[in-house]
Structure 1
Amino acid sequence: MPYDMSQFGKSRWVKTHPNGVYTHGSTEPVLSVLDVRGFELRDLFLIGLNDSCGTIVLPTESRAENAAAALEPAFATRVYLFGSRDGQDVWATDYTRRALDGTTLSAFITDLTLKDGRKVIKDGRWVR
């Protein structure tokens, strides 16, 4: 029996949606992509760190793999065992938005200039 995702919905910061969907943070862009790509929106906990990255926690490995497939190629993804709760495995899919050229952009630091004046990140990309 898969893990009961309602355990993630006990925080006042988590929003509850129909079909066992729980969200926290910036989630609308990813929910839209998943829905348009045919991924069934049920039994998941979506943590959106910002519009460009986050984590989807799912009760089975196959659902995590399917979420990753639905997000590709617009997002770079990584599926992994999130942990074990109450003796049951919980899986996750991390995602980071890709630019049109296929590179992943920094979701947190968009521009960084060192004290010596050298620019090392511009528009989310490392400058060489």
Structure 2
Amino acid sequence: MAPRNFGTQITALVVDDNVLNRKIHQKLLESAGVRNQEGVANGKEAVEIHCHGRRFDLILMDMDMPVMNGLEATKELRSMGIGSMIVGVSSRCTETEIRKFMESGLNDYHEKPLNSAKLNSILDKMNPSFTS
């Protein structure tokens, strides 16, 4: 299934310490027409980029990262008033870990790797009026 093209109205930030995962997710977002699919290597960088005034419609957040993990970063972003859709994307899959991650302020969670179907599901939740 190919990703739908949602045009250039959505901006995204990919937060993952694995360079290959970042590039894969950025390429997937790009193929869906999402602009500014920037990437950072940890939660602290995600918080800092927002402190410098950058805003994104969608944040793809890994759970396990050095410096500041996804749970801490999500809590910090929410405490800063960031209302972006934050989607946890992790290889962790126990119910307890997913629940803790969701409770940190996530809007959604998907197990790695993301694919076109999962991305379409995320983008549909952001704006159900988008059509294929």
Shared fold, TM over 0.5: no
Higher strand share: 1
Who wins on radius of gyration, i.e. which is larger? 1
Structure of greater relative contact order (alpha carbons < 8 Å, 6+ residues apart): 2
- So what's the TM-score if we normalise by structure 1? 0.31
Normalized per residue, which structure has more helix? Answer: 2
